[in-house]
Amino acid sequence: NTRLWSDYLNVHLHPKSLYVIRQYMHDGDCGCLEAFGQGESLLQDPGCLEELEDRLHFYVEECDDLQGFQVLCDLHNGFSGVGAKVTELLYDEYSGKGILTWGLTPVLSDTRNYQKNLCRLMNTALGIVHLSSHSSLFCPLSLSGSLGIQ
């Protein structure tokens, strides 16, 4: 019985490595995480931010010689806002460590829906600006030559 992509995941992840955003699950009360501002506002909540910091510190304390972080983040939806706040947190908390950020975009997009394409363009632009300003190196990554932008 599979419901989500993670049901196909055969690797067992540590419980501290996952943080589920309940209101944006498939059956959540807020629908989809579609806008940069939605993602950014998630980490404005003190409870969410505290939980994220606790999980981060759990792994940082386990490291003998922490050299930096790698952040993989979707650019075309609200996760660009989440990634922007996470990289800002990493930049502030661990200023001497490198942050390599990969901005991911999909190959296919619905070219007929003008409003959705405009929203993707805005998310991508805001994501690139914010992620690159708090990263040591920002690398956009897509199989499409246009970063998903029409």
Given the structure tokens 């632009």, which residue do they identify? Answer: 125
Question: Encoding tokens for residue 129?
Answer: 């600006």
Please give the domain boundaries of the chain with CATH numbers for all domains.
Answer: 34-142 (3.40.50.1440)
The pLDDT score that the predictor gives to residue 18 is: 81
Whole-prediction pTM value?
A: 0.84
Q: Given the structure tokens 């055969």, which residue do they identify?
A: 10
DSSP 26: T
Per-residue pLDDT tens over the stretch 44-91: 888 888 999 999 999 999 999 999 999 999 998 899 999 999 999 999
pLDDT in the model for residue 88: 95
Mean of per-residue pLDDT scores for the chain: 85
Cβ-based neighbour number of residue 69 at 10 Å: 20
